[in-house]
Amino acid sequence: MAEPKLLPDNLKGSGLSSSGSTLEFRLLDESLLDAICQLECEAHAFPWSRKLFSDCLGVRQPCVVAFNNEHIVGFAVVNAVAGNAELLNLAVAKKNRRQGIARALLQHVIKAVTPYADTLYLEVRESNQSAIALYEATGFVEVGTRPNYYPAAKGREDAIILAYTL
């Protein structure tokens, strides 16, 4: 019997950031692509392309967008198949950082993928200590590294592989 695939509707909903902001979680749609690509470029030195985000419009790797008062404050891209899930990308708008939005997005994704997977994996830049601290505080543990995985200003950078048992 085939494993159930992550249903995009599981990614819709609402939540609260640790600062008390109400968040609404919606799926990425065509009308949000430009704003998500702009947030991605603001958040990452080596951003995903518009094509990668366009691929998130289907159900294979849905992108959940976090809104506060109708303003996009962050997003997460996730995939769940064959008993495993992977957080592919997570970003919060610079002006909305340190408000618990990344934590709320992460908790929302964990809840959404729990019926479909036993483990949630992610890769994070070795230099991204604030993200690593967030993931470890949430219960992720290091399970490996991918040497020279990410492009960097000078050469390549290792990825730390983290796992969360659902």
Q: How far apart are CA 57 and CA 77, in angstroms?
A: 11
What does the angle CA 5 – CA 11 – CA 14 come to, to the nearest 5 degrees?
A: 160
Residue 53 CB partners (closer than 8 Å, separation 6+): 28, 33, 36, 37, 40, 63
Catalytic residues: 123, 135
**Cα(30)–Cα(54) distance, integer angstroms:** 8
One DSSP character per residue, 90-149 reads EEE-GGGTTSSHHHHHHHHHHHHHTTTEEEEEEEEETT-HHHHHHHHHHT-EEEEEEEEE
